[in-house]
Structure 1
Amino acid sequence: MSAETRPIGVLLADDHPVVREGLCAMLESDPGITVVGQAGSGEEAVALAARLDPDIVLLDLRMGGMDGVAATGHIRRESPRSKVVIVTTYENDADILRAVEAGASGYLLKGSSRAELVGAVHAATRGETVLTPSLAGKLFRARVVDQPVLSGRECEVLRLVGQGLTNAEIGRELFIGEATVKTHLLRAFKKLDVSDRTAAVMVALERGLLS
């Protein structure tokens, strides 16, 4: 069977078995979709995604242990071919933004119809961003409100971090002390809501702050 005709493989992740079964029944009513696996936690979803290589992972946002946002980040790094769509009951602006920034291709509410769910899977497979219509405005507002403003020096430091320079090398390049470099990094970490250098550079690049 060619890639064009084979069914879209979907991995479901939700800590409620009844929800998983309901989603499974809705998806498999479409002959172009097959559910290749089910996970009851974020950790299990990450492991199954690596083993099964699904086209799409449908992830619940709130699960015990690793939540959907953290699982999204792991899956996008470890199984980059798999697209992630968050399916949740939560409409919080910050949650939507966190999911999209972690690499999710979409964000749907569990109240979505079968047609919306099936359509979202097909759209995500085509590389489109999927968002329940009622959430589009929330995502826009969240981006406007939460977009951090890095100082010019913080941007300079992060650009040099992205080039692989150490703190000491950055200090020499910018004619500032190594302690000052660390201060700029810590401030950038706080503004970007990250905890390490690599994440800071990645988030800043994704948000167009280093262009």
Structure 2
Amino acid sequence: MADLDRRAVLQALTAAVATLTTGGVTAPPATGAEATASESWTVQTLLAFADTLIPGERRFDGDVVVAGVVTGPGAVQADVVDILTSPQLPLEPLLPSIAALLDARAVAYATARLLWLSPLRPPFVGLSFAHRTAVVEGLFGPDDLDRPVWQLLSLLVGLAFDTAGQYNTGQAIAQKHPGLTWLGFPKPDKDGLWRFSDFSYGRPLAALHLDTTPSGSPL
């Protein structure tokens, strides 16, 4: 990846993370729509990457994108593709380059080990889950020039599953978002706000400071 392209990818990924963590994306609740044969190679590769980080069960019989090494939902079921392809984020034009880079790593990995890859699917998708995991582990080597790309992409994958960052949280819970449901994320009160009456250790860790504002901020 050229230096200019790498900078563009990092800028887009950083902007995507910043937007999601500030609640800037609004979208319909997750529908859990099944993947179809219309999935592009780019989407297939990125979904397989997400499934390697947060595995889930196959979406349907014969699913080759999701390895299906566990039961229950993973990043794919949590609609990670909605984060990556959201028109409200600056990332989608760069996804083919990111997927191509990952597929190139998969080809290099397979060639070094004399592994056969089907020409009918993306190279990374053609790897077994164990080999996918090995490729992904190599992406985070301390000397890898593209390590920041994979770190930020992984953060987006985590946001999709752990926080439903691409959706309004209340709507996501109401629609039983797979990640939030699996994690047991608490429901809000009837007014849509979250209040936590039980402290993590069964008691408050410190007395409320006298100068704390009604919003909870210190003066």
Name the TM-score class by shorter chain: under 0.3
Structure (1 or 2) with the greater helix fraction: 1
Q: Normalising by structure 2, report the TM-score.
A: 0.23
TM-score, normalised relative to structure 1: 0.23
> Is the strand fraction higher in 1 or 2?
1
